[in-house]
Chains A and B, each alone.
Chain A
Amino acid sequence: MIVEAGHFALALALGLSLIQFIVPLWGARANDPVLMSVGPVTGLAVFVCIAFSFLALTVAYVTSDFSVVNVVENSHSAKPLIYKISGVWGNHEGSMLLWVLILALFGSVVALAKDSIPMRLQANTLAVQAAITIAFLLFILLTSNPFTRLIPAAAEGQDLNPLLQDPGLAIHPPLLYIGYVGFSISFAFACAALIDGRIDAVWARIVRPWTLGAWAFLTLGIAMGSYWAYYELGWGGWWFWDPVENASLMPWLAGTALLHSTVVMEKRDALKVWTILLAILTFSLSLLGTFLVRSGVLTSVHSFAVDPERGTFILGILILFIGGSLALFAWRAPMLKQGGLFAPVSREGALVVNNLFLATACATVLIGTLYPLALEVVTGEKISVGEPFFNLTFIPLILPLLLLLPFGQTLAWKRGNFLGTAQRLYAVFGISLLATIAMFAFEYGGPVAAPLGIGLGVYLILGSLNEIVTRSWAKGTPLSVAWRKAANLPRSTWGTVIAHAGVGLTVIGIAATAWGVEGLATVKLGERIKAGDYEARLERVVPRTEANYREDAAVFTIYRQGHELGTLESMKRLYVTRGMPTTEAGIMTVGLGQVYVSLGEVQNDGSVGVRIYYKPLVLLIWIGSVVMALGGGISLTDRRLRIGAPVRAKIPAAAAVPAE
């Protein structure tokens, strides 16, 4: 019964979304507050309907109702409860339902923000939101219905793809979707501003938390996905420049640019048109990501089912929203008033440079992702654009951006002083250079990239902390006063500093991968395999049978330079229903590095193919990402109004701060 009610609720949500699209838009045109006030209430109703529908599907999964095709195809009565629940979105239909659920959730939050958003802006935004909801609800109901019934009901389900039977599935997609869909709100606000023909600092202030929040969640989602792939897929890498990964990286790059340009807009009322364009592009890239992953154009663990009809439908949605919003932009953007002016060397100027680099990097990734697809369509030739392409194009774009980052952060608003800024960063330069040289000496003869990368990471961390120091401490200030001043700095400043330091941590983690070592061998019981200072000894192989899989677990003792560190287990599993094998890497964390043991084939004589990696500082890659997201979160709590204050020409005290 609840399944049918859930199905009906989804259809009802579509009807309500149509009202939410038409009536508020009309109200905004006619300046009628009563019509506009229909928007928020309908937005909430849509959310209630979709939430109920999602709940219905979850109930079907939890009770293993095998009269629902979707449950039969992706669940199994013997599956642990957590995977029954996370299995709801571990398939195409369910994940699209999660997508619209989050969309409707955000719509209802906009609806509830009664007094902080001007009414007309709110009405237009909710209407644009409703248009997106309509498109995706139609997509779900017509091509990917999760509530299709199976008559007669099946006796048993076909189980969930074993790669997805992991806590990662409970976390990664919701985080990523909150990020993707969060940008839909920025998009809706941008379109609303274009419809209304007005955009100003008020707009930027309202949009900022949405962009920040979406960005923070997307950061976490990508990091989580990367860590999941790292421990589940068993090839020891954490980023593969796989088109599916790129699909999430592109909106992240554009979103990062949007985040920074919104700051300029809010503080200085400048870069308006560019910000609007970025908001549109960011969400367009999110949609493109959804298209690439969902249409089956790319085959990967994410494309659950290949269905050309769905692909065509999503392509239609893509054309409608990207084309429509860009047309709206081309038509209305020239009417927007230009904002404040600024000198090329200034915080604003630095942020423009940041935007240029990020946008170009994003374009690079876009080309690297779409070119092979286009080539395959046109010539039928299959090529893969992998790491070498991105190392040659993406890295040279990101490096100067990172080098300039502390400069931009130190420059003053409106007009800055380049030499003065450089002076303030002397100490930072010095320490980073020392760190690099020390690393060279310490790891003499090792890879060159690692010490340079670590030096860059240290420079980024110190460079951002430098802002706190220069703003709270001058020569002669007692430490207690400086501390109070630092604590009194706006939380958005702290957020910026922490997020940028997070970038530094990630850079260090990535640079240290160059020091990684690996070993590959076939070992028998009691034999050892070596990677650098680390050794693993195969103690025993234990066969186990669980509810829906059986596995051979190999137990290894790990040694560092002969000293025992402990044991770890690495598994090779066979999920019986699908007959699909998976590897579960055994991982031992040593400090910030990890020993990673992955099993190959078990030979007839009982020996096992084993691959062992030692990855120093590898955890920093993900810790850095979490710190970045945390910085975003701290900045998000800062609800102060902001306005940029230009600094008068000479401020003698603040220059040249030695940091000893």
Chain B
Amino acid sequence: MVIWIILLLMTAAAVMAVLWPLSRHRGFTAQQLDPDTQFYREQIAEIERDRERGALLDSEAEAAKAEAGRRLLRATGMTAADAFVALGEPALRRRRAASTLALSMIPIIALALYGAYGSPHFMARPPERQAQQQGGNFDLMTAVSQIEAHLAQNPQDGRGWEVVAPVYFRMGRVDDAVKAYETAVRYLGPSTERLSNYGETMVLAKDGLVSAEAQAVFEQAVKLDGQAFKARYYLAVAAEQDGKADKAKQAYAELLASSPEGAPWAGAVKQRLASLGVEQPVAGQGDAPQIGAEDIARMVSGLAERLESQGGSPEEWARLIRSYTVLGQRDKAVATAARARQVLAQDNAGLKTIDAMTRELKLTDAAP
């Protein structure tokens, strides 16, 4: 509410700024009414002053004065036709029109634009909370820089690296987080939890791809502790990404079976299993309608038909290949890759796109 009163007052002030000169009667100076002749008169006077100061020779001053005089003559001829009209009925009507224009146009334009792009409702937010949050934030920053200073002095303090790693991760400095975990593992030695966190950060740094290095880390974690749930989960994801759907299914199922009741990761595992085509009794999971594997399959077959009948861009072919892989239909993905190579035989850049996709999905038997 307060904001609207402020905006209203601002609008009123702006409109008044325009109405004020329109409502005033005032005299106009000779300079304003007839500026040109005034200018040349001043010029002649100045030439005279210069001559007296000795800055101009007599002959120069005479010539300059003659020149200015000629211009003055020219200027006086033209002013009569251009006299100002400030009085009378037409002038009054013009003023009224201009006032109306200001009264209507300024508020309408300002409110329309602000209404379209502004966020007046944003005021509802209590300012104290924001201040508090920023204070807390600032403390975090100071803490981080203190730890960093400490680590610069004692780079072998594994505990410090382990503490700072998740903080880096939350601050969005994922690469720093990976390095911090790596250092922590180096100095503190491997433990299941440490290795799992290290591997998970590596996966997130690569946007969800379980790289060979990450896989090695997870395998080490599982070796230390056969029950390491996080590591086993990511190994299953790795198997899935490698196209070993059966192995992945089995790993997920084992993970689910050995998990305690109500484990926080159970939902994620069930979803993975569902995407691999294994039906799970979904109990009370989410009210929102989710896109099921069937919908995806329908969309994919639609895309496949269209590409076959009308052709399409290399990117669309690549998408189809990836879709089949996600659905766990590796053989179809391989066949599609072969078909795409056939269709795009003339298109070098397109072939590269397809190659890149098969490499990414590790469809080795689909290589040309």
A11 touches B114 (CB 8 A): yes
Counting CB contacts under 8 A, is A112 at the interface?
Answer: no
Closest to B35 in A: A118
Within 8 A of B (CB), among A28-45: 30-35, 37-38, 40-42, 44-45
Contacts of A659 in B (CB 8 A): none
Residue interface bits B107-133, CB-to-A below 8 A is 1, else 0: 111110110011110110100001001
A41 touches B21 (CB 8 A): yes
Q: Which of A15-23, A90-98, A272-280 contacts B (4 or more CB under 8 A)?
A: A15-23
A32 touches B86 (CB 8 A): yes
Contacts of A5 in B (CB 8 A): 3, 6-7, 10
Counting CB contacts under 8 A, is B22 at the interface?
Answer: yes
Counting CB contacts under 8 A, is B39 at the interface?
Answer: yes
A488 touches B55 (CB 8 A): yes
Within 8 A of B (CB), among A333-388: 340
Q: In whole angstroms, what is the CA distance A383 to B173 when docked?
A: 37
Closest to B107 in A: A15
A547 touches B145 (CB 8 A): yes
Partner pick for B173 among A78, A145, A202, A579, CB 8 A cutoff: A579
Taking the closest CB of chain A, its distance from the CB of B15, in whole angstroms, is: 9
Q: Which of A251-259, A513-521, A596-604, A638-646 contacts B (4 or more CB under 8 A)?
A: A638-646
Contacts of A65 in B (CB 8 A): 130
A576 touches B7 (CB 8 A): no
Closest to A30 in B: B94
Within 8 A of A (CB), among B58-87: 59-61, 63-64, 67-68, 71, 75, 78, 82-86
Q: Which of A14, A145, A543 has the most CB of B within 10 A?
A: A14
Contacts of B118 in A (CB 8 A): 4, 7-8, 11, 147
Taking the closest CB of chain A, its distance from the CB of B116, in whole angstroms, is: 9
B39 touches A23 (CB 8 A): no
Contacts of A644 in B (CB 8 A): 64, 67
Given contact pairs A78-B141, A645-B64, A141 touches B148 in the complex (Cβ within 8 A):
no
Given contact pairs A115-B32, A579-B175, A645 touches B61 in the complex (Cβ within 8 A):
yes
Q: In whole angstroms, what is the CA distance A121 to B248 when docked?
A: 81
B98 touches A35 (CB 8 A): yes
Q: Which of A490, A550, A641 has the most CB of B within 10 A?
A: A641
Partner pick for A45 among B14, B55, B82, B141, CB 8 A cutoff: B14
Taking the closest CB of chain A, its distance from the CB of B12, in whole angstroms, is: 11
Given contact pairs A34-B95, A488-B54, A643-B64, A149 touches B18 in the complex (Cβ within 8 A):
no
Q: In whole angstroms, what is the CA distance A323 to B114 when docked?
A: 31
Partner pick for A646 among B11, B14, B63, B138, CB 8 A cutoff: B63
Partner pick for B101 among A23, A579, A643, CB 8 A cutoff: A23
Q: In whole angstroms, what is the CA distance A547 to B148 when docked?
A: 10
Closest to B46 in A: A641
Contacts of B130 in A (CB 8 A): 65, 67, 153
Closest to A39 in B: B21
Partner pick for B53 among A16, A488, A579, A646, CB 8 A cutoff: A488
Partner pick for A4 among B35, B119, B171, CB 8 A cutoff: B119
Counting CB contacts under 8 A, is B134 at the interface?
Answer: yes
Residue interface bits B1-17, CB-to-A below 8 A is 1, else 0: 01100110011001001
Contacts of A477 in B (CB 8 A): none
Within 8 A of B (CB), among A590-643: 640-641, 643
Closest to A52 in B: B10
A34 touches B60 (CB 8 A): no
Counting CB contacts under 8 A, is A148 at the interface?
Answer: yes
Contacts of A19 in B (CB 8 A): 18, 101-102, 105-106
Taking the closest CB of chain A, its distance from the CB of B102, in whole angstroms, is: 5
Q: In whole angstroms, what is the CA distance A424 to B217 when docked?
A: 86
Residue interface bits B279-296, CB-to-A below 8 A is 1, else 0: 000000000000000000
A31 touches B85 (CB 8 A): yes
Closest to A2 in B: B6
Chain A interface size, as a band, is 35 or more
B173 touches A577 (CB 8 A): yes
Taking the closest CB of chain B, its distance from the CB of A566, in whole angstroms, is: 27
Q: In whole angstroms, what is the CA distance A485 to B53 when docked?
A: 10
Contacts of B111 in A (CB 8 A): 11
B46 touches A33 (CB 8 A): no
Counting CB contacts under 8 A, is A648 at the interface?
Answer: yes
Within 8 A of B (CB), among A102-130: 114-115, 117-120
B107 touches A34 (CB 8 A): no
A38 touches B55 (CB 8 A): no
Given contact pairs A18-B109, A579-B175, A646-B63, A200 touches B36 in the complex (Cβ within 8 A):
yes
B21 touches A34 (CB 8 A): yes
Counting CB contacts under 8 A, is A151 at the interface?
Answer: yes
Q: In whole angstroms, what is the CA distance A27 to B22 when docked?
A: 11
Given contact pairs A8-B118, A202-B36, A643 touches B67 in the complex (Cβ within 8 A):
yes
A15 touches B117 (CB 8 A): no
Counting CB contacts under 8 A, is B299 at the interface?
Answer: no
Contacts of A41 in B (CB 8 A): 17-18, 20-21
Counting CB contacts under 8 A, is B309 at the interface?
Answer: no
Contacts of B75 in A (CB 8 A): 200
Given contact pairs A5-B6, A645-B63, A119 touches B109 in the complex (Cβ within 8 A):
no
Given contact pairs A19-B102, A64-B134, A115-B31, A7 touches B149 in the complex (Cβ within 8 A):
no
Counting CB contacts under 8 A, is A49 at the interface?
Answer: yes
B18 touches A42 (CB 8 A): yes
Counting CB contacts under 8 A, is A155 at the interface?
Answer: yes
Counting CB contacts under 8 A, is A480 at the interface?
Answer: no
Residue interface bits A541-573, CB-to-B below 8 A is 1, else 0: 001010100100000000000000000000000
Contacts of B32 in A (CB 8 A): 33, 114-115, 118-119
Contacts of B297 in A (CB 8 A): none
B7 touches A550 (CB 8 A): no
Q: In whole angstroms, what is the CA distance A550 to B130 when docked?
A: 29
Counting CB contacts under 8 A, is A467 at the interface?
Answer: no
Taking the closest CB of chain A, its distance from the CB of B132, in whole angstroms, is: 12
Closest to B102 in A: A19
Counting CB contacts under 8 A, is B274 at the interface?
Answer: no
Taking the closest CB of chain A, its distance from the CB of B198, in whole angstroms, is: 19
Partner pick for B119 among A118, A149, A202, CB 8 A cutoff: A149
A648 touches B59 (CB 8 A): yes
Closest to B54 in A: A488
Partner pick for B123 among A1, A38, A156, CB 8 A cutoff: A1
B43 touches A38 (CB 8 A): no
Given contact pairs A644-B67, A647-B60, A30 touches B152 in the complex (Cβ within 8 A):
no
B17 touches A32 (CB 8 A): no
Given contact pairs A15-B105, A16-B14, A119-B28, A202 touches B35 in the complex (Cβ within 8 A):
yes
Taking the closest CB of chain A, its distance from the CB of B112, in whole angstroms, is: 8
A149 touches B85 (CB 8 A): no
Given contact pairs A23-B98, A32-B85, A640 touches B110 in the complex (Cβ within 8 A):
no
Q: In whole angstroms, what is the CA distance A11 to B95 when docked?
A: 25
Counting CB contacts under 8 A, is A230 at the interface?
Answer: no
Counting CB contacts under 8 A, is B56 at the interface?
Answer: yes
Counting CB contacts under 8 A, is B310 at the interface?
Answer: no
Counting CB contacts under 8 A, is B42 at the interface?
Answer: yes
Q: Which of A8, A201, A640 has the most CB of B within 10 A?
A: A8
Q: A30-B90, A34-B95, A643-B64 are in contact. List 15 more A-B contacts (CB 8 A).
A: A8-B10, A18-B109, A23-B98, A41-B18, A45-B17, A45-B18, A77-B134, A115-B32, A147-B117, A153-B133, A269-B71, A641-B39, A641-B46, A643-B67, A645-B56
Residue numbers of B with Cβ under 8 A of A are 2-3, 6-7, 10-11, 14, 17-18, 20-22, 24, 28-29, 31-33, 35-36, 39, 42-43, 46-47, 53-56, 59-61, 63-64, 67-68, 71, 75, 78, 82-86, 90-91, 94-95, 98, 101-102, 105-111, 113-114, 117-120, 122-123, 125, 130, 133-134, 137-138, 141, 145, 148-149, 152, 171-173, 175-176
**Can you list the 7 inter-chain pairs with the closest CB atoms, starting with the nearest?**
A118-B35, A15-B106, A45-B17, A15-B109, A645-B60, A11-B113, A645-B64
9 intermolecular pairs with C-beta atoms under 8 Å apart: A1-B6, A12-B14, A15-B106, A31-B84, A32-B94, A34-B22, A45-B14, A200-B75, A545-B145
